[in-house]
Structure 1
Amino acid sequence: MGDKHIVRFEPVGIEIEADEDQTILRAAAEQGVQLMHGCKEGQCAACKSFVLEGEDIEYDSYSTFALPDYEREEGSTLLCRAHAYEDLTIELLNYDEEIIRSGLPLTKGTVEVVSNEAVTHDMRHLVVKMVEPSEIKFFPGQYMDFTIPGTGESRSFSMANTPNRDGLLEFVIKIYPDGLFSQFLAERVSVGDRIEVEAPFGTCTLRESRSSDLIFVGGGAGMSPLLSLLRSLAEREVERKVTFYYGARTAADLCFEKEITELGEQLKSGFSYIPALSDAADDAEWTGRTGLITEVVEADLSDLKGADAYVCGPPPMVDAAIASLTKLGVKEEHIFYDKFTTTGESEGEDGS
């Protein structure tokens, strides 16, 4: 362990103690301070902030697309890659005080695989059960890190279920030909296997203080956190109108449609599910919407002022959806998203 330093976050006035061996984001999470973040790998810029006081900061590797050199020179920082080597004052540029103050401390544990089944040709429905501890607390929309045995590497996946006392956790995971966890899941994971995990991470969670209409936009494995949010809304009979757009390449890439319809029937304030296919040319039986999901959103909707939006999927889709939603009137601070960055093959806007 290295020396410890105080990091103060403005304008919320919260202080944490950060060890030099930890990133600032990690130190905050361990102390139950839930800062905005996404990939935790310096790729998505969700945790970008500004250094008000202090200069001695060391960085793990990151993408200069997320933090260009000129921005770093001007004082910008990525909290997921930054290590404090002196006391710092950080201005949070992207924050939600409700989420910051309701954060849950990180918990490490072990899970046992209950099932590992294909739901499409390249997505798996993984179900695990907590072994130790018996439960990890999380909010719907958050994610968990899995450590790949024998590698020391970890990968992040969003829970698809809601918090429960039986210790079961569900995930919808995309399989990539060159993905380290993908190949582990596709070729080596069996029922009864145990995997080390840590959670909760992520801020794509329901803002309970708001009652506005909800727009969900998803693609690929972005189904997982959106399904968790939808299940939570239905279970708790939350009275908010929900419109769920989901983009896929072909009809064979759609999943959980029956359950989504059933969940929607439990939402008394109204629910619509609109799947769209980006490649429906060879599917004579498909009578639904076609095109990129962001194109469908823009064709359907004209005024989303006052709405909250949740966007989950591959980075190109998330970026396009944010642009579309802001053009339609959703305030940027009311768009909550998870970019499913990957170390395997890159995904397009339709999740393929």
Structure 2
Amino acid sequence: MANEHLVRFEPVDLELLVPESKTILQAAFDQGIMLMHGCKEGQCAACKSFLLEGDPDDVEHDKYSTFALPDFERDEGHVLLCRAHAYGDLTIELLNYDEEVIKSGIPIQDATVEVVSKEKVTRDLCNLRLRLVDPPALRYFPGQYVDFKIPGTDICRSFSMASTPTNGGDLIEFVIKIYPDGHFSQILDNQLAVGDRLEINGPYGMFTLRENPDAELLFLGGGAGMAPILSLLRSMAENDIKRPARFYYGARTKDDLCFEDELRAFESTLADFRYIPALSDADDDSDWDGATGFITDVLRGDVTNLDGTDVYICGPPPMVEAALEIMPSLGANEKRIFFDKFTTSGEPESS
């Protein structure tokens, strides 16, 4: 049996050779093809596709969640590209894809990085800055993420860059949530020191700024969802992008807000930008005169029509799910809603 097989994708007229040792999604990443994906662990269904041609027995899946691919869907011919291995030539219909970015991917790289600094910016968010050692540079799009290999294990955790490829040179920056029982969180909080080295792999992710110059932008975030949105805003400032933009950020208290000075400065440096933080538990913040309540409720009170707006949502699953539920009532076009749903440890831990 051959070690590689031809996989064709419809309706995008794309094909690639896939080694049996790699999943179809991994093979695409290696060749700079940015297929739709999320967790890469068979849990989110973002990469779910359909086998059009080929023997179903020539598709074998690594372990996955039946929430992402129920047995009846697999029996019908659905596959999860992040878990599927090809053992014969196949033709696959992509159910979720973005023609704008599918052929604009960057081949995945392994890199060694060194800790430059780590700073608690809130009680449970850490600003981690790393220097690239080998290679000395890493290509990525603002809004993407990399996988961190947990030292001494084969386990990886995913974290979004807050930096941009140009503003840090050989430095990359992250905003990472510290979970009490998080495997990487505890290493970061209690063990990792300046000068320590880590192994990373990437870039991954579809949370990138799409070309749509006439559309306004709405960013909605919470927790460590600050990181990729900060990367996008920094990129907009660097590239003098003049699209009107609003950033709604939800936190519990004032102590849970971060990067306030930089975000307020964007209101001057970006052509038409407003930053709207909201506190869901402002009882002890007697001097707070900003918005209060859940960020989705604040948004719904401020905005009545998102028709023609590109919407970017990033944060913990409950916030993302609540935001997605209200988008139709606000007139948002589902094809212009882009989101990252961060998970906690026990699932792939991402921030």
Tell me which interval the TM-score lies in, with the shorter structure as reference length. Answer: over 0.9
- Counterpart of 1:16 in structure 2 is 16
1:3 Cα deviation from its structure 2 partner: 2.0
1:211 aligns with one of 187, 211, 214: 214
Q: Is the 8 Å Cα contact of residues 61 and 85 (structure 2) preserved in structure 1? A: yes
Q: Is the 8 Å Cα contact of residues 35 and 47 (structure 2) preserved in structure 1? A: yes
CA distance in 2, matches of 1:140, 1:103: 12
- Counterpart of 2:177 in structure 1 is 174
CA distance in 1, matches of 2:296, 2:347: 22
CA distance in 1, matches of 2:244, 2:233: 11
**1:137-175 CA-partner distances (Å, limit 9, x unpaired):** 000000011111101211110000111272100000000
CA distance in 1, matches of 2:156, 2:347: 17
In the superposition, the TM-score normalised over structure 1's length comes to: 0.94
CA distance in 2, matches of 1:338, 1:83: 25
Q: Which runs of 5+ in 2 are unaligned?
A: none
- More off after superposition, 53-62 vs 217-226: 53-62
- SS in structure 1 at match of 2:102: helix
- More off after superposition, 297-306 vs 223-232: 297-306
- More off after superposition, 305-314 vs 289-298: 289-298
Which aligned pairs between 1:4-43 and structure 2 lie closer than 5 A?
A: 4-43=4-43
Cα distance, 1:52–1:265 mapped onto 2, change above 3 Å: same
How many correspondences in the alignment?
347
1:247 aligns with one of 241, 247, 250: 250
Q: Is the 8 Å Cα contact of residues 111 and 130 (structure 1) preserved in structure 2? A: yes
1:346 Cα deviation from its structure 2 partner: 11
- Counterpart of 2:280 in structure 1 is 278
- SS in structure 2 at match of 1:311: strand
**1:231-279 CA-partner distances (Å, limit 9, x unpaired):** 00011110100010111122211111110111231111x1111111222
1:45 Cα deviation from its structure 2 partner: 1.7
What CA RMSD, in Å, does the superposition of the two structures yield over aligned residues? 1.9
CA distance in 2, matches of 1:346, 1:136: 23
1:87 aligns with one of 82, 86, 89: 89
- Counterpart of 1:228 in structure 2 is 231
- Counterpart of 2:289 in structure 1 is 287
- Counterpart of 1:183 in structure 2 is 186
Q: Is the 8 Å Cα contact of residues 41 and 348 (structure 2) preserved in structure 1? A: no
1:281 Cα deviation from its structure 2 partner: 2.5
1:344 Cα deviation from its structure 2 partner: 4.8
2:263 partner letter: I
- More off after superposition, 171-180 vs 57-66: 57-66
Q: Is the 8 Å Cα contact of residues 114 and 132 (structure 2) preserved in structure 1? A: yes
CA distance in 1, matches of 2:318, 2:193: 33
- More off after superposition, 189-198 vs 41-50: 41-50
1:342 Cα deviation from its structure 2 partner: 2.2
1:71 partner letter: E
- SS in structure 2 at match of 1:227: helix
2:193 partner letter: S
1:97 partner letter: E
Kindly indicate whether residue 307 of structure 2 is the aligned counterpart of residue 305 of structure 1: yes
Identity %, equivalent residues: 61
1:199 Cα deviation from its structure 2 partner: 1.3
Q: Is the 8 Å Cα contact of residues 215 and 310 (structure 1) preserved in structure 2? A: yes
- Counterpart of 1:321 in structure 2 is 323
- SS in structure 2 at match of 1:333: helix
CA distance in 1, matches of 2:84, 2:220: 31
- SS in structure 1 at match of 2:40: coil
CA distance in 1, matches of 2:160, 2:348: 18
1:328 Cα deviation from its structure 2 partner: 1.1
1:220 partner letter: G
- Counterpart of 1:3 in structure 2 is 3
1:256 partner letter: F
CA distance in 1, matches of 2:301, 2:348: 27
**1:52-109 CA-partner distances (Å, limit 9, x unpaired):** 1221211122222222222222222221111112211111111111101111101111
**1:182-226 CA-partner distances (Å, limit 9, x unpaired):** 011011110011111111100110112443100001111000000
CA distance in 2, matches of 1:276, 1:146: 31
1:107 aligns with one of 89, 102, 109: 109
1:91 partner letter: E
1:74 partner letter: E
- More off after superposition, 183-192 vs 280-289: 280-289
- SS in structure 2 at match of 1:190: coil
